[in-house]
């Protein structure tokens, strides 16, 4: 009797997840909750921790948990996700070690000029040292962002 093995097509999963998505990198020395409070005020958003989206990575028999904040814009069918990129000297996206936080915007409402305007608003927050749009195609470990 032969055993049927099914294999998950990770490339297709990644492509589907990041369709109509934008990613920004943010540098800030602030704690996540301090930065989120300021961004909520600056952008008029309501980012909140979503424990069900927390990302767990296992490396060298240790577990690392990366907090994810979420804000939904129901009228625009857009979701905003704010990730910590660091946890105990490990990185969610190791190729972006200089980036402290990641902001993923999902949904087809936002186009590049809109995203650039949001990032410009983000830069105005006192605790933000730098914020810039990233090219998702250049990120090797983007599967780590999938919740």
Of 22-31, 40-49, 54-63, 66-75, give the lowest mean pLDDT range.
54-63
Q: Give the model's confidence band at 8: pLDDT under 50 very low, under 70 low, under 90 confident, else very high.
A: low
Encode pLDDT of 54-107 as tens digits: 999 888 888 999 999 999 999 999 999 999 999 988 999 999 999 999 999 999
- What percent of the chain is modeled with pLDDT above 90? 76
pLDDT, mean over the chain: 92
DSSP letter (8 states) at residue 61: T
Cα 55 to chain centroid distance, Å, stands at 11
Q: Considering the chain, what percentage of its residues have pLDDT values greater than 70?
A: 95
pTM of the model: 0.89
Helix pair 112-123, 32-43: axis angle to 10 deg:
120
CATH dotted code for 20-145: 3.30.310
C-alpha torsion angle, residues 69, 118, 139, 38 (rounded to 10): -40
Q: Select the more confidently predicted residue: 70 or 12.
A: 70
């Amino acid at each position: 009797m032969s055993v049927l093995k099914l294999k998950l097509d990770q490339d297709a999963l990644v492509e589907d997840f990041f369709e109509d998505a934008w990613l920004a990198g943010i540098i800030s020395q602030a704690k996540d909750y301090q930065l989120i409070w300021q961004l909520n005020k600056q952008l008029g958003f309501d980012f909140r921790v979503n424990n069900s989206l927390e990302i767990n990575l296992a490396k060298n028999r240790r577990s690392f948990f990366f907090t994810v904040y979420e804000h939904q814009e129901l009228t625009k069918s857009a979701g905003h996700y704010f990730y910590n990129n660091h946890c105990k000297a490990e990185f969610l996206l190791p190729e972006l070690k200089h980036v402290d936080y990641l902001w993923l915007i999902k949904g087809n409402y936002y186009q590049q000029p809109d995203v650039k305007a949001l990032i410009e608003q983000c830069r105005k927050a006192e605790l933000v040292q730098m914020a810039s749009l990233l090219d998702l195609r250049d990120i090797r470990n983007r599967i780590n962002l999938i919740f």
